[in-house]
Chains A and B, each alone.
Chain A
Amino acid sequence: MLTFLFKKERQLETLIYHYIENLGLIQKHFSKAMNICLKEGASDDFSFCMDQAHKFESRADDYRDEINELMYSRALIPESREDIMALLERVDEIPRSFEQILNMIRTQKIAFPEFLVLDIHELLRISMESCDMMAKQIDVLIKKKEGIRALMSTIDQNESHCDHIERRIITKLFDSDLEPFLKLQLKEMVIVMGEISDQAERVSKMVNIMTMKRRV
C-alpha cells in the first residue's frame, strides 16, 4: 500500500528486516562457535565460526549506517526516526556481547571446566531464545500485530532464569578448586553471557513502550 509514494520508507523497512535477519546469522554462528568451544575447545572450527560471526557483525554495522543515513534524509516521521535509532542502538549491544565473548575465548585462551558446561549450555540456550523472541517482537512492532506483551513477559521470565543460572555458575565456580585467576576470568565471561538476556529484556521493554506511544 502506498509503496509508490514513499520509496524511502519502504527501503528503510527492507533494511531493518535485513538487519534483523543478519542478527539471526550472527546469533547462529555465535551459538555454533560456543557449542564447538564447549565440546572441543577453541579449535579451527571454532575460529571459522567466530570469523563468520565477525563478518556478519561488520555487515550489521553497514546496515545500521545505511539505516541512519536514510533516516537523516527524512524518511519516517521524527518520532519514529528517534525510536528506531534508539532501538537499533540497543539491539546492537547484543552482537557486541557475542563478539566480546568469542574474543575473550580466543585471546584469553579460555577453556570451560567440565562441571560448568551444562549450566553454560543452559544459559546460552535461554539467552538465544530471548534473542529470537526479541527479533519476533520487533517484527510484531513493525507489522502492528498483537502479542508484544506476551513476548515481553516471556523474555522477562527468561532474564530472571538466566540471572539464576548466572549466580549458580559463579557460586559453583568459587566453590571449585580452580586457580583464583581462572575463577575471575570465567566469572567475567559468565557476566558477559548473562548480559545477553539482560539486553534482550531492555530491548523488549523499549519495544513495548514504543507500541504504547503509538497507540492513540
Chain B
Amino acid sequence: MLSLLGGIFLGWSLGANDASNAFGSAVSSRMVKFWTAGILASLFVVLGAILEGRAGIETLQGLTSLTLKMAVVSSVAAAVTVSLMTLLGLPVSTSQAVVGTILGIGFLNKQLNMAGLGKVVACWFGTPIGGLLIAILVYRLLAVLYNRSRIDMFESDILLRLALIVAGSYAAYTLGANNVANVTAVFVGAGQLSVFSASVLGGLSIALGILTFSRGVMETVGKKLVRLDPFSALVVVLAEGLTVHFYTWIGVPVSTSQAVIGAVLGVGIVKGINTVSRRTLTNILIGWMLTPAIASFVAVALYFIANLRFIIEP
C-alpha cells in the first residue's frame, strides 16, 4: 500500500488542478455551487476511470516494463515535476510528466516501446489542435441552433446553466477516463495492481483531490474562462471533453489544460478576438517542452538516489 502513495498523491494533485477545466467556469461565475460541482465531478471522474480508463492504462504500461521500485520512482518523479512546474508558475501537463518519467526509466532500462511513444507524442501535438478544431465546429453548430431557437431569455439562461452542468460532468468523465492512466498505469505495469483496481484507485484519488483541494483553483483558474461569455465557456468545456474523449478511445492520456487552451483559441478564431495572450501561449509552449524533459531528468535522478545503497554497500 505504501508503494502506491506516490500514485495517490499524483492523482490527488491532478484532481485538485484539472477539475477546474471541467467546472471552473460554472463555479467561479457562481452558476453552480462548489459542492454541487465537486460531487458531480468526483462521481463522473470515478465513473470515467472505471468504464473507459483501461485503454490509457494499457498504452502507458506498454511503453516500458517496470519493477515495483521503478513504478514508485516514476510516480514520485511525476508528482515532484508537477509540483516544481506549478511552483515555477508554468502550465504543466500531468500526462506529459508521467510519460517523461516512464521515458527516463525506460532509458535506464534500455527498454522503450518507440512505436507506443511515437503515438503518445503525436497525440500531444494533436490535443490543442483537436481542441481548436472541435471548438470551431461545436461553436458554429450550437450557434445556429441557439440563434434559431424560439426560447425566451429566461429559458435560454436555464438551458445554458443546465448545459454547463452537463458539459462539466461530461468533461469530468473524460478526465477520469483519460487521466487515470497517469495515476496508476505504472503500478499495473509493475504487477502491483490489476487494470480494474488501478482504475478504481486512480479514480478515487483524483476524486479526493477534487473534493479536498480544487475549490481555490476552480474559483480562480476558472475565471480565465469566464472572461468569455457563458455560451463560449460552454463551447470550450464541451470541446475539451470531446477532444479528451477522442484520445481516450485511442488510448492515449493527454492534457485537459492543453485541450482547453486549444478550444479557447478556437472560440477566439470564430469570434475574431484574441482569447489567449501571447505571453500565456509562450508559457504554455515552454511548459509543453520542459515538462517531459524535466520529468525524465527527475525520474533518472530519483532512480539513481534510490539505488545509491548498492554502490556504498561493501
Contact = CB atoms under 8 A, between A and B. Distances in A.
A12 interface: yes
B151 interface: yes
Contacts, number: 61
Interface of A: 1-2, 5-6, 9-10, 12-13, 74, 76-80, 141-144, 213-216
A5 B154 contact: no
B30 interface: yes
Given A1-B155, A142-B154, 13 more contacts: A1-B151, A2-B159, A6-B158, A9-B157, A77-B157, A78-B226, A78-B230, A80-B157, A142-B152, A142-B153, A214-B156, A216-B147, A216-B229
A100 to B, nearest CB: 31
A77 B155 contact: no
B259 to A, nearest CB: 21
B152 A216 contact: no
Given A216-B143, A216-B146, A216-B231, A77 B161 contact: yes
A147 to B, nearest CB: 14
Query: Which 10 A-B residue pairs are closest in the complex by CB-CB distance?
Result: A216-B143, A6-B158, A9-B154, A216-B231, A13-B154, A142-B153, A78-B29, A143-B152, A76-B157, A77-B230
8 contacts: A2-B162, A5-B158, A9-B154, A78-B29, A78-B30, A78-B226, A143-B152, A144-B156
Contacts of A215: 147
Contacts of A10: 154
B25 to A, nearest CB: 11
B278 interface: no
Interface residues of B, number: 27
B221 interface: no
Contacts of A79: 229-230
Contact of A144 (B30, B150, B161, B229): B150
Nearest to A143: B152
A144 B146 CA distance: 11
A77 B146 contact: no
Contacts of B153: 80, 141-144, 214
A214 B143 CA distance: 11
B162 A5 contact: yes
B154 A76 contact: yes
Contacts of B158: 2, 5-6, 9
B284 interface: no
A76 B157 CA distance: 6
A214 B229 CA distance: 9
Given A215-B147, A216-B147, A78 B31 contact: yes
Contacts of B147: 215-216
B112 interface: no
B250 interface: no
B143 A77 contact: no
B28 to A, nearest CB: 10
B137 interface: no
Contact of A77 (B149, B150, B152, B160): B160
A86 B309 CA distance: 70
Most chain A Cβ neighbours within 10 Å, of B143, B155, B159 = B155
A143 B156 CA distance: 10
B275 to A, nearest CB: 14
B136 to A, nearest CB: 13
A80 to B, nearest CB: 5
Contacts of B157: 9, 76-77, 80
A10 B154 CA distance: 7
B30 A74 contact: yes
Contacts of A78: 29-31, 226, 230
B253 to A, nearest CB: 32
A80 B30 CA distance: 13
